[in-house]
Structure 1
């Protein structure tokens, strides 16, 4: 009945995913490949969660 009041968890995860990718890009530009790799890994985990929510 009040579903329109609920926040969409996919939107929140999508925003976090995009932020992680941007942080990874900036780390790569600065030459910090370890940070780039870890941030990219975190972004991929978020993408997996997004896909699971979309398919559920």
Structure 2
């Protein structure tokens, strides 16, 4: 019953993941491949966290 009001942690992670991918895309468009790689790596770490929350 009280789980109804509990926030979904995967939703917050998903939003952060999408923002990181957007930032990586903008960096790639600007020709900053080093920043693109860094942001993509951070996004992938967030994706793994999302998968963990869905499984557990």
TM-score w.r.t. length of structure 2? 0.95
Count of aligned positions: 56
TM-score w.r.t. length of structure 1? 0.95
Q: Report runs of 4+ in structure 1 exceeding 6 Å deviation.
A: none
**5+ long unaligned stretches in structure 1:** none
Query: Aligned-residue CA RMSD in angstroms?
Result: 0.6
User: Within 5 Å, which residues of 2 pair with 1:17-56?
Assistant: 17-56=17-56
